Copies of this chain bind each other. A is one copy, B any other.
Amino acid sequence: MTDEIETFRAFISKKGLRNTPEREEIIREIFSIQKHFDVDELYLRLRNKGSKVSKASIYRNIPLILECGLIREVWHEDGHMHYEQIYGARHHCHLRCVECGKVIEFVDDEIKYIEKRLEKKYDFKIIDHRLDVKGYCSKCRKALKMDGK
């Protein structure tokens, strides 16, 4: 059994809830995606491989999977939320091209120091951050003839 599923099973049991095949299917599918996803995509992928999991179950489980720390919300776009799996992944942020939608994940240690400064200055205990950077990638700049820079 994969680590993710084991982690989730333990989490569910600890909360006094029940491990079900549907929950396992959902976790398994999320971790087979290996990139950002949304509820509809997850649902369709499950359907396409014969799963009977309903959207309601996905919606009911997402808060638990979030709380368990296996996924996180990455951005709200086109009227719905987008998620990514983060189990075992180094914390990273996103750089997105507003033209073509290309996403680059990056890690920048400087953010840790920003957090440290914030904790000290405002007496907070920081648990998470989300840095979302937008811009134009080189390809789109060329296509749009934006390249004075």
Contact = CB atoms under 8 A, between A and B. Distances in A.
A137 to B, nearest CB: 6
Contacts of A111: 114, 131
Given A76-B76, A76-B81, A118-B95, A136 B124 contact: yes
Interface in A120-147: 121-138, 141, 146
A136 B132 contact: no
Please give the count of copies of this chain that the complex contains. 2
A107 to B, nearest CB: 11
Given A76-B81, A111-B114, A114-B108, A125 B135 contact: yes
A134 B149 CA distance: 35
Interface of A: 76, 81, 95, 97-98, 104, 106, 108, 110-111, 113-115, 117-119, 121-138, 141, 146, 149
